[in-house]
Structure 1
Amino acid sequence: MNDLYLLISSFKLSFADDLKIFRVVASTDDHTALQEDINILLIWCDDNGMRVNDTKCKIISFTRSTNPVYHRYSIGAEALHRVSSICDLGVTIDKELNFNDHIGIMTAKAFSVLGFIRRHASEFTDIFAIKSLYCTLVRSILEYARLFGPRTA
C-alpha cells in the first residue's frame, strides 16, 4: 500500500482494507485530478492482483453551497453512485456532516438489545448480572464512536 500512497495526489484515509480518497473540488481541474486518482487506484489494484468492489464505492460531497456542482466519477465504465449519507467504520454521516441518522440508528439498536435483555433476563435476581448485561450489550452500543460529552465510568 505504501507505493499507492505515493501515486495518488488526493488526500487519503485508510483503515485495514478500507481507503477513502478525497479533495476539495473547486474547478474542473480538481474533478479531473480526482478521477485520475481513481484510475491510478484501479491500475494499482490490477497490477497487484486485487479487485475493487465497485458496489461498495460511493461518492459523497460535503458542501455549504445552496447550488453545488456535482461531477460524475467512474470506476472503469461503471459510474460511481452518489449518496446523501454514508456509513464509515460504523458511523453514519450525512452530506451536511450531521450525525442525526447515526444517533437514530444507534438508539434503535440499543433499545432492541435492551428489549432482548428484558425478555430473557426478567427472572434474574442478581442486580450485578443485569448491570453487566446492560454495560456490555447496551452501553457499548451507545458509547461506540461517541462524538461529544464527557466520558464517565
Structure 2
Amino acid sequence: MSSNQHGFMKDRSCQTNLIAFYDEVSKKLDSGDAVDIIYLDFAKAFDTVPHKQLLSKLRSIGLSEVVCTWIENWLQDRVQRVVVNGTFSTWNKVLSGVPQGSVLGPLLFNLFINDLGVGITSNVSVFADDTKLCRTVNSIQDVTSLQQDLGQLAIWAAKWQMRFNVDKCKVMHLGCKNMQAPYTLNGTALGKSIMEKDLGVLVDNKLGYSKQCQAAAARANKVLSCIKRGIDSREEGVILPLYRALVRPHLEYAIQFWSPVLKRDIIELERSL
C-alpha cells in the first residue's frame, strides 16, 4: 500500500495525514519558498468504483483467482431502486461502488486508488478519497510541473472511470513571494482559497489555526450549553462523563496538529475546559 495513504491503515489516521503533509509544507515555507497546495475532491468516490476495473487491479497486484472470484461474487448481483412518495422504480443492477459500512469496502477502495500517485512529482497525500498535492513554486517551471501533475491525475481518473468534482477542487497559495499562478483541471480553472477545512481542521494560507480554535471552542460550548440546560444534576459523577464523551472530542480532535500557540487562542479553548 502506498505510503501516501493514511485512511483505513494501521497506525495511521487523519492526524498523521495532517502532520506529515503540513510539516513538509512548513519546511518549504521556512526555507523561504513559495508553496501551492491543490485540494482535490472526487465525486461520490466510494459509489463510483467500477467493478470490472477494480477486479482487473486486484488481479494485477497478484491476488489469487480464488480470492478475486470470491470478491467478484460478493460485489455482483446487487440491485437498487428508488422510492418517491410511495412509488417504486424498477430494480437496476449496481455495476459500481464498494459497499459502504462493510469491512472489505475501505480496503478495496484503497487498493483501487493505490496507484493514484504514480508518476506524480509533487508531494501527494491521501486519506481515503481526500487527496491533496503540494509543491514549491519558485519559478514558472515549478508551476508547469504542478499543472502537469494535475493533468496526470485527470488522465488517471478518466482511465479508471472516476470523476473529480472540479467545483470543489481548490488551490491555496502560500508564501509572500507566491506568483498566485492559475491552475486547471479537465479544462476548468480551479478556484482560489485562503482557508480550507482539511479532514475537519480549518487551515489558512498563513498556516495559522486561530479559526480552528474558534470553531472548536464554539462547537464545544454549544454542546456544553445543551448539557447545562438539559441536565438538572450538577454532580461530578453525572457531568464529567457527559463532558468527556460530548465536549472534549471537539476540543481534542487532531489537537497535536493544530495545538494553539497564541495566547488569545489558548484562552479561547480554556474557556470551554
Give the TM-score normalised by the residue count of structure 2: 0.51
Corresponding residue of 1:77: 187
Q: CA RMSD in A?
A: 1.5
Residue identity opposite 1:119 in structure 2 = R
Structure 2 CA distance, aligned partners of 1:105 and 1:55?
24
Pairs within 5 Å for 1:4-83: 4-63=116-175, 65=176, 67-83=177-193
Structure 2 CA distance, aligned partners of 1:51 and 1:73?
18
SS at match of 1:31: helix
Corresponding residue of 1:133: 242
Q: Deviations over 1:8-51 (max 9, x none)?
A: 11111111111111110011111011011111101101111111
Answer whether contact 2:138 2:178 (CA < 8 A) is retained.
Answer: no
Structure 2 CA distance, aligned partners of 1:43 and 1:21?
16
Residue 142 (structure 1) aligned with residue 251 (structure 2): yes
Aligned length: 146
For structure 1, the residue ranges without an aligned partner over 5 or more in a row are none
Q: Give how far 1:56 is off.
A: 2.0
Call closer, same or farther: CA 1:59–1:2 in 2, change over 3 Å: same
Q: Give how far 1:125 is off.
A: 5.6
Corresponding residue of 2:102: none
Corresponding residue of 2:208: 98
Residue identity opposite 1:127 in structure 2 = E
SS at match of 2:233: coil
Residue identity opposite 1:57 in structure 2 = C
> Which has the greater radius of gyration?
2
Residue identity opposite 1:102 in structure 2 = Q
Q: Which has the higher contact order (CA 8 A, sep 6+)?
A: 2
Q: Give how far 1:61 is off.
A: 1.6
Call closer, same or farther: CA 1:125–1:107 in 2, change over 3 Å: closer
Q: What fraction of aligned residue pairs are identical, expressed as a percent?
A: 36
